[in-house]
Amino acid sequence: MGSKRDLLIEKATDWAWEHGLVGLSLRPLAAAIGTSDRMLIYHLGSKEQLIIEILRCSAARSAHELRSLPTSASPQQAVLDQWRLRTTERQSQCDRIYVEAATLGLFGQQPYAAEVIAMNEVWLEAVRLHLVSSGVAEERSREIAELVDAALMGFELDRPLEAGEHVGLMALARAVDLLAHSA
């Protein structure tokens, strides 16, 4: 079993996935997870450190799910499989935290700016590894992973505004397959 600190981080991350980070207040969060705001500060040092740990936990959970995806039959199928994963409720909750943190980070608000960069690297590596296991050459994997991640994030941001499947998804999947098989 993990430490009290680790357990608090897990519970706080669950809470943040449900309620978001914007307007996070220690007292309501602490009450919801069965502790006090003083105990959160005792174990984490500050509200900012708690937010950092929530972002790290969220990124780790999300990347773990992607790393747990079975190898796809092709790079094209890998894109479709990653999209299916991204649109699950759990991944959507993580994306919500990411978008909130990225937005606050864009305005230079810390700890968001620095942690979003770290979250990007954790996630991008998981995207890259899944693509490699699904047939993308190692030497092209970083650039293809960056393309896939950027496109899927854009689709994800547009998803609440559209009905049905995103029109660009199949075009992206075919493009990745072409890139993976070109010299």
- C-alpha 33/C-alpha 113 separation (Å) is 26
- Yes or no: say if 112 and 53 are a contact pair by the CB < 8 Å rule: no
Q: Report whether pLDDT(34) > 70.
A: yes
Domain count within the chain = 1
pTM, to two decimals: 0.85
Report, as an integer, the average pLDDT of 30-41: 95
Mean pLDDT of 16-23: 90
Q: State the chain's mean pLDDT as an integer.
A: 89
75 or 161, higher pLDDT: 75
For residues 56-81, average pLDDT: 95
99: domain CATH number is: 1.10.357.10
For residues 58 and 111, give the distance between their C-alpha atoms in angstroms, rounded to a whole number.
Answer: 15
Q: What is the pLDDT, as a whole number, of residue 99?
A: 87
The range of the structural domain enclosing residue 172 comes to: 4-181
The residue that leads in pLDDT, 182 or 28, is 28
Tell me the per-residue pLDDT of 120-177, one tens digit each, with 9 for 90 and over. 999 999 999 999 999 999 999 999 999 999 988 888 777 666 655 666 778 888 888 8
